[in-house]
Amino acid sequence: MTAHPPTGSPLIGRFVRLDPVRPADAAGLHAVHSDPRVYTQGYVMAPPSPDLAATQALVDRTVAARATGRTAYTVRLTGAGGLGDEGTVVGTSSLGDVDLVNERVHLGWTLYASRWWGTQVNPECKLLLLGHAFDCGFGRVKIQTDAVNHRSQAAIAKLGATREGVLRRHTRRADGTFRDTVVFSVLRDEWPAVRAGLEQRLA
């Protein structure tokens, strides 16, 4: 199968649905981006948003990134499983760094409000995004996190992703310091087992 970019179509599961980020999503995403707990373990994509205007500017940049190959999604609850009301915005995640020749893509830029950590939100988001990536013909999906973010590393490993190594002094954080980045991946041949594990967690 020849790889092609993510389609931008909605990805719908039992607990969450992922829709391409739109400028109008800023109000819902503001509560996520202004949650101070998400920045305590090295999240580097943006500093905490002090006001809605800052979040709107960030969302506008995220929407514009589609032109350079990053497909960002707003994560909403479906109302199932007692997690919250249907339509509640709980986070964002993306497929980017698309390399069609080498059939690889990066699943990242992920941020959930702390209220939904440890729930069905992350495993189902990963099930939907990984499934879409492999349906698009990619053979490798990279997932990475800050070396100080032990919670995120544990969550990625629990998905069934393989830890590949550490990129030292890799990315500048919002506070100006540099992070070491821990890199994981899931390969096409590994996907059936990873998918089965995620489906079992969500059953």
HEC profile of 155-181: HHHHHCCEEEEEEEEEEECCCCCEEEE
Instruction: List the one residue out of 40, 27, 14, 38 whose CA is nearest residue 89.
Output: 27
pLDDT value at position 112?
Answer: 94
**CATH of range 11-202; options 3.10.129.10, 3.30.470.20, 3.40.630.30, 3.20.20.70:** 3.40.630.30
Domain boundaries, the chain: 11-202
Q: What is the mean pLDDT of the chain?
A: 93
pLDDT in tens, 152-175: 999 999 999 999 999 999 988 877
Kind plus residue range of the DSSP H or E element containing 92: strand 89-99
pTM over 0.85: yes
Range 14-29 average pLDDT: 97
